[in-house]
Amino acid sequence: MSTALADSGELGLTDQEKQWLSKHTVLRVHNERNWPPFNFNENGKATGMSIDYMNLIATKLNVGVQYVTDDDWEHFFEWIRSGSLDVMLNIVNTPARREFMTFTEPYLISPAGIFVTRDNRSIHSLDDLNGKVVAVTRGFFMEEMLKKNYPGIRLLVEGSTLQNLESVAFGRADATIGIPGVMNYLIDTHFLTNLKLAGQANDKRLSSVMSIGVRKDQTMLRGILQKAMNQVTPQEMKLLYARWNLNAQHQSLPAEMTDEDKQFITNLPSVRVCYQEAAMPYIGKATGGGYQGIVADLMRQLEKQLQVNFQWIELGDSMGSEQALKTSFCDLLPMVTVNSERNSFMRYTSPYLQVPIVLASLHDDLFLGDTSQLKGQTIGYVPGWLGLESLPRRYPDVHFEEVASLDEGVQLMRQGKLDGLADTVPAIAYGMQQYGWSDIKISGRFDEPLLMSMGVSQQKQQLQAVLQKGLLALGDEVPQQIYRQWVSVKYVQPFDFTWVWRSAVGILVILGFLGYRNKQLRRFNRQLERMAVTDALTDLFNRKKLDEILAEEQKRWSEPGNTCGVLLLDLDHFKQVNDHYGHQVGDEVLQRVGQAVSAVVGHGQTLGRWGGEEFMVICPSHSLGMASRLADIIRREVAQLPPGVSGVQTTSIGVAVSQPGETVVELVKRADQALYRAKQEGRNRVAVASISVESMHSDMPANIPVERRGSDVPTK
C-alpha cells in the first residue's frame, strides 16, 4: 500500500483525522494469548483472523501496530482506561463497556454454541443450563450477559476460554458457551476430545458481534478506523475467512444457490468422484458395500445437501488422479491439498478439514518439541494426495525418505533404518488399531497442519462454485464432528474399561495421537491422572483412590507395630437438604463440608469422598486416641460452619483402627458400624468401633466412648 494512501482522499479522512494520524504513527493493539483462530499468540507473534484484519486496516492507514499481549481482559480494560492501549479487537459492544469505550461497526458475527462432555445427554439448550455450572471467562461479555439475563445459571469464572473447556472436560463445570470455531480449535489442539457441541445458544444477545473498541474519548480514532474498515473489500474478507477456515460460520461467502446453480445441478446426471486407492480412515470400501471413512461420510452429507449423485471410481494403478482430472475422466478429487504446481489444471474449494501432521516413533525420547530437533534424523513419509511431499522442502535439514506405505515405514523403524515416520493423526491411529502397532508412539507434531480441500478441473468453474456453497451450507461443525467420530470414538470403543477409565484413557489415547508439546503433554497427563482419582464435585479423592490407599496401608499394618485409623463421616439429615432445598444446595453443602474437613486434615492423612454424603479420612500410624481426637475436631469444625441456605450442618463420625490380621473390608465395616451407632444415638457425635482391651492404646481420651461403653460425645 502506498505511503500516501491515507492522504490521497481514498478513505475520506478529514484534515483533523490526517493530522491525528501524523502524530500517532503506531497503534497499540490488544493481543490475547489463547483465543484461536481469531486472536492468539504463537511463539511470541500475534496471529489470528482478527490480527490479520487489524494488519489490513493498518496498511490502509499507513500506520504501524504494536501488539500488547496478555491473557486477562481486565488488564486490557485497565490499559484502555489509562491510555496505554489504543485498540481492542474482536470485542462485543455491551452497556457496561460503553461507559468507557466506543465501538466501530461489527466486522464479524458468530452465534454461540454450548459445549459439554460427550457422555452428557441432558444439556441441549440454554433452558437446560438452569441450575447448572457454566464456565465463563473473566471480563468477557458472556459473563455480563449470563449474569444479567440468566440468573438461574451458576457461573464458574475462569481466566481463559481454554480454562473454561478444561473445567468442563475435568468435571468442574457442566458446560461452557462460546464460538464454535474457537472452541473446536482449542478442543483439537489441546486434546480435549471428550467434549462436544451440544447445541446452539439461541439467544442473539449471546452471539459474538465483534467490533473494534477504543477509549471513549478517542472518537477521532474510532472514526478513522471505521473509514478504513469501510474500504475493506468483500474479496479481502473472503481471503481472510478462507485462510482461517471460517467461511461457513462467520458469514464470509453466500451459500444460497442461484437459479443458474440449481439449473446446473438439475442437468448434472452425476459427479464422478475419483480416488487413487483405499486410504483409511479417510476413504475405503465398507464390508457390506459402499464406502466408509472421514471423507466418504462427509461426501454423503454433501450429496444430501446438494441433491446430487456422487459416483465413486477407484483408479488403481492404471491412471493417476491428476491425469484423470486433466482428461475429464473424473469430475472431482475429494481430498487434495492446495499446490501451486496444480493450479494450471485444478480449481479448489476452501479447506473443509484441518488435520495435524504428526511424528511417530518407537521411542519416547524422540520428541518433536521443535523441528530443529529433527536435524540429521531420517524420517519416512508416504507421498501422494496428502501433500506430504512438501515436508522435504519445508524442513531441508531433515532427511526424508519415501516409503510405499505406513506399514512399510513401521517395519523400517523397527529395523533401525528410520528414526521416525511422518503422517496424519487419523492415518497413524488407524494403523495402530488395524495392525496392532503397540510399540508406536506419537512423539510430536509438525508446525503446519494439512488443509484438506476438494479439487475439480480448471474448466469446471460452476461445479467448484456449487461444491463451495454446499460446504458452506454444511458449516464447520459437520466435518469436525465426522473427524472426531473417526478419531476419538472408533479408536476408543474397542477398550473395555469402567466409565472413569473409559473417559480418562480415551483422552490419553487422543493425547498419544495428537502429541503436541512436551510441556503440554506432561500437564495434561497430570490432569488426566488427577481426574481419574478425583471426585468432580468436591475436588477430593474419590472412592477408587481411597480403595488404592487402603490396600497399600493393609500391607503396612500387617507388619507388627503398625496401625492405620479410618474415620467414616456421614452428613446428618442430608436427604432432607436435597428434598427440601434441591440438589444444587445439597452439592454446595457437600463442597463446604469437604473444604472444612480438608482444612483440618494434616500431612500424611488422606481425605476423600467415600460416596453420596459420606467422607473418609485415612490416618496411617494413628492410635485409637489420635484418630478419635481428630474425629472430634472435624465434628466441631463442621458444626461451626456458618449456616447456609439449609441451616446448620452437622456430621456423625465412626472411628476404627486396624487390628493385627484384619482386612480392609473388616476395618471399614467396623468404622461403618460405629457410624451407624452414632446416628442411632443422636447424630453430631463420634462413635468408636469396639476393640479388645488389650489392643487399646493408653492415649485414648476419656470423653471419647468405645462401643462397649455405650456413651457418646455430648451433642453440641
Active site residues: 613
Q: DSSP string spanning 44-100?
A: TEEESHHHHHHHHHHHHHT-EEEEEEES-HHHHHHHHHHTS--BEEEEE--HHHHTT
Cα-based torsion angle of the residue sequence 190, 196, 198, 201 in order, rounded to the nearest 10 degrees:
20
Closest by CA to 635, choosing from 657, 620, 655, 611, is 655
- Selection from 433, 436, 469 nearest residue 454 by Cα: 469
Beta bridge partners of 357: 424
Cα-Cα-Cα-Cα dihedral sign, residues 496, 497, 502, 506: negative
- Does the N-terminal peptide bond of residue 37 adopt cis geometry, omega within 30 degrees of 0? yes
Contacts of 12 (CB under 8 A, 6+ apart): 227
Length of the chain: 716
Is there a contact between 370 and 437 (Cβ–Cβ < 8 Å)? Answer: no
134 three-state secondary structure: strand
| DSSP E strand stretches across 321-390 | 332-336, 346-348, 353-355, 357-361, 378-381
DSSP 715: P
What cell does 373 get?
A: 530437533
Alpha-carbon distance 476 to 677, whole Å? Answer: 60
Nearest to 171 by CA among 530, 525, 420: 530
Q: Which residues pair with 402 in a beta bridge?
A: 381
- Alpha-helical runs (H) found in 207-364: 219-230, 234-243, 259-266, 294-306, 321-326
